Amino acid sequence: MNRLREDEAARLISDTVDSLGGEMVEFLQELVRIPTENPPGRYYPECARAIGRKMEEVGLDVQYVDVPGELLPVLAPHGEALPRPSVIGKLAGSNMRPLVHFTGHYDVVPAGDGWSVDPYAATVRDGKLYGRGSSDQKSGIAAQVFAIKALRKAGLDLGGTIVSSATPDEETGGFAGLGYLVDRGFVSRDNTDYCVITECLDVDKICLGHRGTLWLEVETRGKQSHGSQPSEGVNAIDKMLDLLYAVRHEILPGYNIVSRHPVMPPACRKNTLTVTMIEAGIKVNMVPPLCRVSLDWRLIPEQNVEGAKESLLALCRKMEKKDPEFKWAVREIMSVKPTLVRDDTDVVKAFQGAGQRILGRPMDFSVSPGSDDQKFVVQKAGLEQCIVYGPGPLVLAHKADEFQPIDDLLTGAKVMALAAWKLVGVH
Ligand SMILES: [Zn+2]
């Protein structure tokens, strides 16, 4: 095997991905047409098998991993006991290591309203492929599979191993998806050198982490009475208003700092606490005995999720002391610590170099405003060399008329292929 220079490899990869463009678009269309809506998690086996079939065609050794039935209520409580398969393909080079693992989620959020095209028709128009999941992030899965196909077709001998996996459930936390693969040791420091999450974080950005997430359900309890005699009752909505006012004026000012990390979009470079649901009241002439709100609190990498929750609990205790009628409960729905990896590791440098060559300009760094599956690999598996890179545009995720620019799909596959070639080395 003669040693290729990097510029020669880049040209070869670029031409080969271009020659595979039509086939890659067809594969992404096939995936978008399988409506893997989560919750509850429909058509997962069909989608996992479609990805597995393509990986077999590319020449990978393919394995399916199912979550055992008894773990489904724990790992996927809103999953209606539907199956949660992951699929893993492996292409061994002349050595087992180094090993680079590309992984993406194949579940999508429900289509919702406001579409001008059928969200599951995968219509291609003006260089864009429309559909739920086209950007977030079936595009990443198509790019990672075709990056490997391009390396093989171009005849580039690899020194190490490339793994490509697709998992379910990221949109509901990922515990039955990549979380389960990490729990079972499929991704660990012992078997993996580099990991790339192919989420839609823009084709020209290397994403180093994500903000922390704290989802809480907060309840105030009052006493029911006739609406004409409110003095006979305790109004739970009033108590909730007191609490939310105190949160805004006593807690949030202490969280009002701007992150020095490049969270995208820039408006998210601070903590955001959003009241997302509210539920209270029985009838127009009844004092409400119960009020329940959901809070979606996102914290920047400089902030601590546990501390945030504790500050809310402390505020509730203080209010209870001042007002004996203030009855409350706080339930944690989910909490995820922020993730942030270093920007000078080999995996980062490989993607910076590959991006510069393919795009012709430097890649930017970003940090995701929401959490994603990177948390499992960095926080649970302890693998520092894990970044997020995928061709989907971040701002289109979860919107009506979501689309994937086809140019970006090809560019993403080229960057992934060249970076992988650099990371696993040449035979
Ligand atoms: Zn996603």
Which residues crowd ion ligand 1, with CB under 5 Å? Answer: 136-137, 199
Cis peptide leading into 137, omega within 30 of 0? yes
pLDDT, tens digit (0-9, with 9 covering 90-100), for 116-153: 999 999 999 999 999 999 999 999 999 999 999 999 99
Q: What is the DSSP string of 190-209?
A: TT-SEEEE--SS-TTEEEEE
Q: How far is the CA of 86 from the centre of ligand 1 (A)?
A: 15
pLDDT score recorded for residue 4:
83
**Ligand 1 centre and the CA of 136: distance in Å?**
5
Closest to 166 measured CA to CA, from 51, 33, 25: 51
CA distance 377 to 178: 8
Please report, for residues 50, 83, 182, the alpha-carbon distance to residue 65 in angstroms, rounded to integers and kept in the order given: 15, 10, 12
Report the C-alpha gap between 71 and 179 in whole angstroms: 13
| Pairing, β 403-405 against β 128-130 | antiparallel
Could you tell me the distance, in angstroms and rounded to a whole number, from the CA of residue 199 to the centre of ligand 1?
Answer: 5
For residue 180, report the distance from its CA to the centre of ligand 1, in Å: 17
pLDDT band at 402 (very low <50, low <70, confident <90, very high): very high
Total residues belonging to the chain: 427
Nearest residue to 302 via CA among 248, 260, 344: 260
Q: Which DSSP category does 137 fall into?
A: I
Over residues 230-245, the pLDDT tens digits come to 999 999 999 999 999 9
- Per-residue model confidence as pLDDT tens digits over 321-339: 999 999 999 999 999 999 9
Strand partners, 279: 292
Q: Are 111 and 136 in contact (CB under 8 A)?
A: no
Distance, CA of 357 to CA of 27 (rounded, Å): 26
What integer best gives the mean pLDDT of the chain?
97
Q: Give mean pLDDT, residues 242-255.
A: 97
Rounded-to-10 torsion of CA 217, 220, 223, 226: -80
Nearest CA to 109 out of 118, 119, 121, 117 is that of: 119
Determine the distance separating the centroid of ligand 1 and the alpha carbon of 288, expressed in angstroms.
39
Retrieve residue 276's tokens.
């997302």
**Measured distance CA(256)–CA(272) in Å, rounded:** 9
pTM score of the predicted model:
0.93
